[in-house]
Structure 1
Amino acid sequence: MPETTFRYQLPKKAIKTDCPNCGPKHRRTLSRYVDTQTGEPLPDQYGRCDRESNCGYHLNPYQKGPSGLSYADEVKARYTSKPIPRAWFSSAAKQKHKGVSKQSIIANLIHTESATLEQAERVAAFLFDQPEARPGGNGLPIEQSPVFTIPEDVFNQSLGHYHLNQFAFLLRRHFGVPVADTLLKRFAIGTSGRWPGACVFWYIDELERIRGGQIKLFDDTFHTVKYVVKDGERRSRTSWVHSAYARRCDALNQPYPAWLAAYLDERNDVQKSPCLFGLPQLLTAPADQPVAIVEAPKTAVISTPYFPGFIWLAVGALSYLNAERLAPLRGRKIELFPDLSKDGSAFDRWNRVAGDLLAQGFQITVSTYLEDNATQEEKDAGLDLADFLLDQWIEYSPEWDS
C-alpha cells in the first residue's frame, strides 16, 4: 500500500520534541507523527527518535496497544461508535476507585450493561489510559497528590429546589421552561441555602469527581449581587460549598465531617476549582464536536442554546487558562471566547496563552466575535459573551432542540 494512503505520517519537515526514552541529555530528538487530514501533531509519545542506533524509540500510531487497538483504531472508534451512556463511565469510575482492575471493569460492563467489547474498552481506556506523570529531577515519577472531593450526597442534596433558585428563575424567564430545565440538568446546577435564591455551579472533573462547588446569587439582570461592608468595600455574593458547609457547622456547634476536615486542612493541596466547569458533557458528546471556553460558568450555560454546535465549558477565571486544566480536551478543536476589556488586555492574554497551548499540541483558536461586534461602551464595561447576548437579544428565539 503506498505510504500516502496513511492518515498519520512523519512529515518531511519534522516537528520535534523530547524523546521519552532518551532522557534530558538529548533534547528534541523525537520526530512526531501528524494527522494529514488536520495538519495537527499526534500526542507526544507517537514519533520516531533520530538516535536510531543508540535509542531506537519508535511508537507508530498504527501499532497495537495492550488493549489490542492502535491509536488509529481508537480514533476511528470514537468517530463511528454510538455514544456511550454516561452512567457507564460513572459506575466504572466508582469500581476503579474501589480497586477493581481494568479487565474486570471491561467484563462487568459487558455482562451487566450488555456493552460491546469495543464500548467497554473505550470506557476502560478513558479511565485507565491517562498520560503518566513526567519524571522528577531524580528520574522517578512525580508522586500524584491525593484528590480531595465533595461527597455525592452533598451534591445530590443541592439538585432541584429550583423554585428557590434565582438563576433557574432567570433561565426560565429568558429561555422558557423546557430549554431552561434542560440547561439546569445538563450542567447539574444546584441550589444553595447560603443566601435566599443562590445557586451552585459544580466543578466536576473528567472522571466525574466533585472537585468543588461555587455558590452565586444573581440579581434580576444575571449579574452577581453586590453588597457593601462596614468600611464601604463592595463585595459579591459569591462563596464555595465547603465554606458554606463549615459556616453552618460552626453556627450549629457541630464537628466537621471527615471530608470537610480534609478539604479545609491547610496541609492538603486542595483547589476549589481545579478543573473546567461542564466537563461531564464530554462523556456523551460526539468526538468531533468542538469545544468553546469562556471564563464564567454562567456564560457557558447561557451560551449553549445560542450556539449549540459547541460544547460550552468555563475555566473559572481569566488566569486559570492553562494546559493542565485543558488536558481532557486534547484531540478536540477548541475555541476561546475571552471577556471584553477596555484596552483589550483580556483578549491579548488569552491569545498569548493560546499560542503556548498550540505549541503543546492543542487544536486551539481565539474567537474575535466579541471584539469585532461590541461597542466601546460595552468594552469599557467589561462585558462577557453572556452579557453581550442578553443585551442583543432581549427575547430568546433561536431554535434549540433540547
Structure 2
Amino acid sequence: MENYKYTLDKTSKKFICPNCNKKSFVLYIDTETDNYLVDNFGRCDRETNCGYHKAPPKARKYFLIPFLCLKNMSDKVVQLTDINGFKFIIPKSQILEQQENGCWVSEWFLKNSTIFYLGNQSKYLNNDELVLVNTVIKRDKPPDLVPSFHSLELLNEMYFEKPHIDNLTTFLKRHFSQHEVFEVIQKYFITGVGHFWKNSTGFWQIDEKNKIHACKIMLYDESTGKRIKKPYNHINWLHKAFKDSEFKLSQSLFGLHLINEDYEKTIAIVESEKTAIIMSILLPDFIWIATGSKQNLKFELLKPLKKREVVLFPDKGEYSVWFERATELNKVGFKITVSKLIEQTNFGDGFDLVDYYLKL
C-alpha cells in the first residue's frame, strides 16, 4: 500500500503548539489537496526551547465516492454507478464502509482507476489497526466562485442589434422554408458570431429559469451543414472571446428554456445542437434538447426534466452507453426511454437523426 505524502506548511501561518503553548506550531498539509491535517500533526518552530514534532503516521487514505447505485456482482466485487451515470467495478477489499449514497474507497485503488476523487471528502486510517487517525479540514481560502451567467442585454445585443451571417443558418435556408428557419432561429436564439471564425454560430445555453449559462461557438460548412473539424475542431466559448478569466462555466442543456412552453409535450434529447434545431422543424410534437456532448448526459444537467417524459435519441454507436445511464437515472425518479432507431440502421458510428431524415 502507498504511504500518503505530507509536507509542513510553507506559509507564515502558525498555530498554538500543544507542548509549549506558544503560537509557533506549523501544521502538516496534504500536498494533493492543500488542506491541513488535524490532531496536532506538525512541528514547533522553537527548535531550541521546545522542539516538539509530531509527524503523520503511515496511513491509508480513503475518499468518499457518491453513487447512484451500488450493486453486488459477486462475493468479491461490486458495481458502482457514479452520479454521472458511469459504471465501475470495485473490489470489496478496497471499500472501507458504505453509506446511503456513497462509499469510502481506498486511494490506492482510485489512483489506478478512472474514478475522479481528488476533490472528494477523505480520511486516513492506520495501516495496522485500521482506526481513524486524522481527518482533513479546509484551510482558510476564498469561497468557491458561484457559476457565471451571461446577461440578457448581451444576448439582445448580439441577436437583435448586431446580427451576423452564419453558415449554419445559410445551410438551413437551403433545406427549409423561410418561415420555418425564421421560427427555429427565434426559438433557439441561433446567433451569427464574429468571434474566432467568420460566419460561425453561437448556441446559447439558457436554462428553465431563463438564466444564460454560456454561449458555445462552432463553425459549420454552409454547403454540407457539417461541423468544421480540420485542421482542428472549431469549438470555443463566448466568454473566452471576451477574455473573461473570472467567468466560471457551468453548462446547461441546449434548449432547456423551451420546456416551460408546453408541459404536455415529451422531451426529446439528442447530442448535437444542430440536430435538435433541425428535428424541431421535422418533428415539432417533441421539445428538442441537446446535451452538446455525450458526457453531458448526467444527473446535474437533466435534473430539471425529472418529472417529464423523456426520450433519448443517441448517435449510432452510443446506444448502450445512453441506455445504461437512463437505467440508472430511472432508479432515482426519472422517466426516460431510449430509442433504437439509429442503432438499427446501417449508418456508421457517429451518425444521428439528421443523417437519417435528411439523408445527408
| 1:219-253 Cα deviation digits (max 9, x unpaired) | 0211111332xxxxxx122111111222xxxxxxx
Q: Residue 237 of structure 1 is aligned with which of 231, 234, 239?
A: 234
Q: Residue 363 of structure 1 is aligned with which of 335, 341, 344?
A: 335
Report the number of matched residues. Answer: 218
Aligned residue runs from structure 1 range 294-305, under 5 A: 294-305=270-281
CA distance in 2 between partners of 1:365 and 1:144 (Å)? 36
Q: Residue 388 of structure 1 is aligned with which of 321, 337, 356?
A: 356
Identity %: 31
Residue type at the aligned position of 1:157: E
Aligned residue runs from structure 1 range 151-170, under 5 A: 151-160=151-160, 164-170=165-171
8 Å CA contact 1:190–1:201 kept in 2: the answer is: yes
- Flag the 1:169–1:262 CA change in 2: closer, same or farther, 3 A: same
Aligned to 2:286: 310
Give the SS at the match of 1:291: strand
Give the SS at the match of 2:355: helix
Give the SS at the match of 2:285: coil
Aligned residue runs from structure 1 range 145-184, under 5 A: 146-160=146-160, 164-184=165-185
More strand, by proportion: 2
CA distance in 2 between partners of 1:179 and 1:207 (Å)? 26
Q: Residue 320 of structure 2 is aligned with which of 337, 340, 348?
A: 348
Q: CA deviation at 1:179?
A: 0.2
8 Å CA contact 2:308–2:335 kept in 1: the answer is: yes
1:221 and 2:205 equivalent?
A: no
Q: CA deviation at 1:356?
A: 0.3
Give the SS at the match of 2:315: coil
Aligned to 1:262: 246
Q: CA deviation at 1:162?
A: 5.9
| 1:354-393 Cα deviation digits (max 9, x unpaired) | 0001101101000011122x21xx224x21212222217x
Q: CA deviation at 1:154?
A: 2.2
Rg larger in 1 or in 2? Answer: 2
Give the SS at the match of 1:167: helix
1:321 and 2:278 equivalent?
A: no
CA distance in 2 between partners of 1:290 and 1:145 (Å)? 35
More helix, by proportion: 1
Residue type at the aligned position of 1:244: A
Aligned to 1:332: 308
Aligned residue runs from structure 1 range 63-102, under 5 A: none
Residue type at the aligned position of 1:389: Y
CA distance in 1 between partners of 2:165 and 2:237 (Å)? 18
Give the SS at the match of 1:227: coil
Q: CA deviation at 1:347?
A: 0.8
| 1:112-169 Cα deviation digits (max 9, x unpaired) | xxxxxxxxxxxxxxxxxxxxxxxx99xxxxx996231112232222215666111111
Aligned to 2:193: 192
Q: CA deviation at 1:279?
A: 1.1
Q: CA RMSD in A?
A: 2.2
Give the SS at the match of 2:359: helix
Question: When the two structures are superposed, what TM-score results if normalisation uses the length of structure 1?
Answer: 0.51
Q: Unpaired runs of 5+ in structure 1? A: 1-135, 138-142, 229-234, 247-259, 264-269, 393-402
Give the SS at the match of 2:202: strand
Which segments of structure 1 move beyond 6 Å, counting only runs of 4 or more?
none
Residue type at the aligned position of 2:330: L
Give the SS at the match of 1:262: coil
